């Protein structure tokens, strides 16, 4: 960086801790879904609507953040994230009815989106010669945070510590990233396209519009499944939160060592093969019971681990004139589509459960059948991606000509 007063390592660490908080909100909320449903008599559809609010707040703050990033830089966005995380966590703990839960979850979504809106272009700006690799290393802490959240939720539930205590745990990393940011100099948009007019016009590029569609499908495949992991795998013969921790733990390892994979296959190849593996994985999970669930979970992790950061990295490399705004829009659109899909997935679970009950199945068989049939429905999404990413794969030589130099090539 030109400004020697900028501590790239410390800013990268603060970004990673902030993303850990973002991820823990997913992991812990996934872990307390069942308790919230029982305590407040929420249906799966209501739980889906509640989770949806985080996915609506996320794209809103990402889009606004992307628009103002070239003018204000990452620092104000990071402090907005910090404040919204604190307020959202406090309101969640004191909530006793549906509407306050919706509002608190929306605030959490605002915070999570602000983290992405600030940190993705910040990292792309600081590490210009290895963007996709560093973005994957940054996004290690999304699955890493979900692992922490899932294990904390599992452990605290086993100790009969309720959902309020589990939410309160997230104050620790939230305060930590606030301390890390305090007094730091942040860079402006130096090494990414920062002309808003050029950014906006570049988004009408057919490739960027094509990737928007793909992002909606990749995000829903990964995050939609993760948010309903407990009811989807209930009575499948393996603890759902342990499966969530396994999936996300493998994702963290895969993202940390993403550099050689991306160098070998390039982002297009990674996305294409990921879609194939994710489709197979959901097919296995839709029929799995007992130990086979672990195989399905392993394959699912391999299938989705590179989706999110590689999609953002793809835009920064192949659609680089869209700048920070393009990175925010692609991520925000993925969250928006996932948000709209959550009540649909919840509705599938409710309808499949009602169907199984009408067939006279036992209680455990009802939950198993509902989860498996819903997973079978979700598998359609990565199957569509095989076709879409397959198109990019066969066009990869032409696309490489417009790619900005990355990762040493």
| Distance separating alpha carbons of residues 19 and 317, to the nearest angstrom | 22
Q: Give Cα separations from 312 to 6, 43, 139, 285, 330 (angstroms).
A: 24, 34, 11, 28, 7
Instruction: For the domain made up of 8-400, give the CATH fold.
Output: Growth Hormone; Chain: A; (1.20.1250)
Percent of the chain scoring above 90 in pLDDT:
34
342's enclosing H/E stretch is: helix 323-358
pLDDT given at position 124: 82
Secondary structure letter of residue 169 according to DSSP: T
Band of pLDDT at residue 67, cut at 50, 70 and 90: confident
Q: Is residue 66 pLDDT above 80, yes or no?
A: yes
Q: Check if the beta carbon of residue 16 is closer than 8 Å to that of residue 186.
A: no
The secondary element (H helix, E strand) that includes residue 344 is: helix 323-358
Give the per-residue pLDDT at 91: 93
Tokens coding 331: 């991520």
Residue 278: pLDDT band with limits 50, 70, 90 = very high
What pLDDT score does 114 carry?
94
Per-domain boundaries in the chain: 8-400
Measured between alpha carbons, how far is 24 from 36 in angstroms, rounded to an integer? Answer: 17
What pLDDT is stored for residue 173 in this prediction?
94
Mean pLDDT value of segment 152-158: 82
Q: What is the mean pLDDT of the chain?
A: 86
Element (H, E) at 101: helix 98-126
Sequence-distant (6+) residues with CB within 8 A of 230 are 30, 31, 33, 34, 240, 241
**Cβ–Cβ < 8 Å for 67, 196:** yes
Give the pLDDT confidence score for residue 194 in this predicted structure.
Answer: 62
Task: Give the separation between CA 330 and CA 240, rounded to whole angstroms.
Answer: 30
Structure-derived torsion over alpha carbons of residues 302, 304, 307, 309, reported in degrees to the nearest 10: -80
Q: In this predicted structure, what is the pLDDT of residue 33?
A: 74
Contact 192, 121 (CB under 8 A): yes
C-alpha–C-alpha distance, residues 394 and 389, integer Å: 9
Least confident of 28-37, 279-288, 321-330, 363-372: 28-37
Q: Residue 311: is its pLDDT beyond 70?
A: yes
d(CA 235, CA 285): 13
282-292 average pLDDT score? 88
Range 106-135 average pLDDT: 86
Q: Is the pLDDT of residue 353 over 70?
A: yes
- What confidence tens digit (pLDDT) does each residue in 204-239 have? 999 999 999 999 999 999 988 876 776 777 777 777
- Model confidence at 1: pLDDT above 70: no
Whether 3 has a pLDDT exceeding 70, the answer reads: no
Contact 350, 343 (CB under 8 A): no
Say whether 97 sits in a helix, a strand or coil: coil
C-alpha 121/C-alpha 177 separation (Å) is 18
Q: Span 142-154, mean pLDDT?
A: 81
d(CA 101, CA 95): 6
- Dump pLDDT digits (tens) for 110-120: 999 999 889 98
Compute the radius of gyration of the chain from its Cα atoms.
20
């Amino acid at each position: 960086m030109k400004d020697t007063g900028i501590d790239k390592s410390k800013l990268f660490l603060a970004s990673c801790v902030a993303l850990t908080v973002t991820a823990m909100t997913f992991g812990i909320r996934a872990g307390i879904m069942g308790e919230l449903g029982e305590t407040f008599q929420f249906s799966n559809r209501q739980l889906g609507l509640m989770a949806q609010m985080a996915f609506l707040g996320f794209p809103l703050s990402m889009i606004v953040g992307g628009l103002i990033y070239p003018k204000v830089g990452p620092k104000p966005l990071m402090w907005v994230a910090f404040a919204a995380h604190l307020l959202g966590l406090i309101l969640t703990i004191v909530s006793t009815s549906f509407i306050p839960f919706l509002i608190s979850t929306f605030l959490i979504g605002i915070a999570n989106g602000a983290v992405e809106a600030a940190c993705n272009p910040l990292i792309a700006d600081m590490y210009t010669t290895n963007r996709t690799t560093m973005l994957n290393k940054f996004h290690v802490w999304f699955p890493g945070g979900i692992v922490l959240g899932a294990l904390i939720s599992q452990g605290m539930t086993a100790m009969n510590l309720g959902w309020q205590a589990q939410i309160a745990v997230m104050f620790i990393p939230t305060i930590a990233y606030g301390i890390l940011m305090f007094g730091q100099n942040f860079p402006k948009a130096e090494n990414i396209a920062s002309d808003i007019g050029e950014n906006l016009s570049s988004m009408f590029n057919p490739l960027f519009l094509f990737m928007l569609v793909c992002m909606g499908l990749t995000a829903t495949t990964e995050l939609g499944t993760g948010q309903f992991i407990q009811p989807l795998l209930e009575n499948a013969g393996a603890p759902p939160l342990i499966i969530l921790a396994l999936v996300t733990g493998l994702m963290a390892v895969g993202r940390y060592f993403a550099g050689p994979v991306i160098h070998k296959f390039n982002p297009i190849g990674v996305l294409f093969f990921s879609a194939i593996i994710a489709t197979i994985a959901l097919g296995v999970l839709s029929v799995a019971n007992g130990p086979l669930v672990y195989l399905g979970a392993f394959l699912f992790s391999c299938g989705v681990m590179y989706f999110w950061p590689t999609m953002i990295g793809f835009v920064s490399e192949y659609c680089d004139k869209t700048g920070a705004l393009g990175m925010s829009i692609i991520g925000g659109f993925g969250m928006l589509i996932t948000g709209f899909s959550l009540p649909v997935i919840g509705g599938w679970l409710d309808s499949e459960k009602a169907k199984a009950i009408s067939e006279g199945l036992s209680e455990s068989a009802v939950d198993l059948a509902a989860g498996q049939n819903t997973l079978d429905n979700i598998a359609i999404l990565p199957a569509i991606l095989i076709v879409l990413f397959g198109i990019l794969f066969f066009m990869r030589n032409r696309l490489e000509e417009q790619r900005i130099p990355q990762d040493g090539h």
